[in-house]
Amino acid sequence: MSKPHSVIRQTITTPIVLIVVLLAMAALTYAFGSRAFNRTAIEMFINIMVVVGLYAFVGNSGLLSFGHISFMCLGAYMTAWLAIPPVMKSITLKGLPGWLLHTQLPMWVATPISGVFAALFALIVGRIIMRLSGIAASIATFGLLGVVNNVYSNWDTVTGGQGSIVGIPPTMNVWIGWLGAAVAIVIAYLYSISRSGLALRATRDEAVAASASGVDIVRERLIAFVVSAFIIGLAGALYGHFLSIVNPGSFYLRTTFITLSMLVVGGMYSLSGAVSGVVAMSVLIELFRNLEKGVSLGGVTVGLPNGVQEIAIGIITIIILIYLPTGLTRNREFSWRGWPLQRRLAPSVQTALKEIN
């Protein structure tokens, strides 16, 4: 089997470039960034994990999912259950089973468990939902988000209901954030060059031809679903450790749409697109946050009124989409030779999309 090796050789530069660039960003942040800036950077790394996780499913399958933030919710709450000191849990989360109530695990252990938990959940619900395709599948993932949010918002004795659960040890820093992003990128990359990932992308571009040549669409989609749930579950766990509190409201529509926007702005069919979408949006958000705080111009502080940040970001998103409907990366990958496979697929995607409209 020499073929997988050649695929790796042709494409390996992409994850390396991405990870190295992010490492540089982490190092610069660590060396020069303020405390607040460090937090922004950590948030960006977590968002990269989420959006890369989304890419693993959306990018390879071509199905838009509104449900992936529920995996973030699952991961974050699992981490809360595992990592909060038992003393605190016994007061706020009385409904937890005894063995869980008396456990406290460090972040290094709690995080992978949370990822696996999200993946297992995805395996179960995915067996049902992945049978659907097109917009029906998208709506079903929406339903999934609704169910998970509703349950976590109301199962008071286990999740603390609408309120926040506090007490997750705040052990995140910018290096762990980078590591998380790197792990996400590596997993998503390995999936996309795996047999399943290649087959799934073939179904995305040429559904009929792919299924005629024996690709089991449901199965490949399910694998992608589980892989992406694992990544996003990890992101949720780290997010819990980052904020040290979890709250169901953080894992609902707003986050869903912001992360989806990041993916589409970057280019939803490429790993580089997923990462650069998050970086671009994070830079924009930070820029406008500073503009709102005010810029000193010859002794006079000029600041934008509050609220301009979101409005500007919304408008800029629209403008980017108007001029680059396939995202900042135009669905291509970063590397010095390009991703040959992607390049070859790109035009057929374009015509396919045109025909749909």
* Footprint on residues 315-354 left by another protein (CB under 8 A): 315, 317-318, 321-322, 325-326, 347-348, 350-351, 353-354
Alpha-carbon dihedral of residues 132, 138, 142, 148, nearest 10 degrees? Answer: 50
x/- letters, 225..264, toward another protein (CB under 8 A): ----------------------------x---x--xx--x
Nearer to another protein, 190 or 316 (CB): 316
| Rounded Cα gap, residues 21 and 17, in angstroms | 6
Q: Which of 95, 134, 170, 294 binds another protein (CB under 8 A)?
A: 134
User: Least distance to another protein from the beta carbon of 285, Å?
Assistant: 12
User: Least distance to another protein from the beta carbon of 312, Å?
Assistant: 9
Per the structure block, which two tokens stand in for 243?
Answer: 């904020």
Nearer to another protein, 134 or 294 (CB): 134
Nearer to another protein, 111 or 317 (CB): 317
- Concatenated DSSP letters for 19-35? HHHHHHHHHHHHHH--H
Nearer to another protein, 188 or 264 (CB): 264
Q: Which of 136, 209, 287, 295 binds another protein (CB under 8 A)?
A: 136
Asked if 144 interacts with another protein (CB under 8 A), we say yes
Q: Are the CB atoms for 237 and 222 separated by under 8 Å?
A: no
In terms of phi and psi (left: phi > 0; alpha: psi -120 to 50; beta: otherwise), the region of 140 is alpha
Longest dimension (CA), the chain: 70
Instruction: Kindly report the backbone phi and psi dihedral angles of residue 297, in degrees, each rounded to the nearest multiple of 5, phi listed first.
Output: -120, 100
Find the radius of gyration of the CA atoms of the chain.
21
Nearer to another protein, 142 or 175 (CB): 142
x/- letters, 53..72, toward another protein (CB under 8 A): -----------x--------
| Rounded Cα gap, residues 166 and 157, in angstroms | 14
Asked if 311 interacts with another protein (CB under 8 A), we say yes
Q: How many other C-beta atoms lie within 10 A of the C-beta of residue 256?
A: 23
CA distances from 30 to 37, 59, 112, 173, 174 (A): 9, 32, 25, 9, 7
User: Least distance to another protein from the beta carbon of 298, Å?
Assistant: 27
* Footprint on residues 277-296 left by another protein (CB under 8 A): none
- Tokens 């992406």: give the residue: 228
Q: Which of 140, 193, 231, 271 binds another protein (CB under 8 A)?
A: 140
| Rounded Cα gap, residues 34 and 210, in angstroms | 51
Asked if 34 interacts with another protein (CB under 8 A), we say no
Which residues, 6+ apart, have CB-to-CB distance to 168 below 8 Å? Answer: 79, 80, 83, 84, 240, 241, 243, 244, 245, 246
x/- letters, 77..116, toward another protein (CB under 8 A): ----------------------------------------
User: Least distance to another protein from the beta carbon of 321, Å?
Assistant: 5
Q: Choose one: 20-28, 89-97, 241-249, 311-319; the region binding another protein (CB under 8 A).
A: 311-319
Q: Is 68 exposed, middle or buried (0-12, 13-18, 19+ CB in 10 A)?
A: buried
Q: Choose one: 103-111, 113-121, 237-245, 300-308; the region binding another protein (CB under 8 A).
A: 300-308
| Rounded Cα gap, residues 298 and 53, in angstroms | 45
Number of residues engaging another protein in binding (CB under 8 A): 49
Q: Are the CB atoms for 244 and 164 separated by under 8 Å?
A: no
User: Least distance to another protein from the beta carbon of 46, Å?
Assistant: 21
Q: Are the CB atoms for 246 and 89 separated by under 8 Å?
A: no
Binding residues for another protein, rule: CB under 8 A, are 64, 128-129, 131-136, 139-140, 142-144, 146-147, 150-151, 154, 253, 257, 260-261, 264-265, 268, 305-308, 310-311, 313-315, 317-318, 321-322, 325-326, 347-348, 350-351, 353-354, 356-357
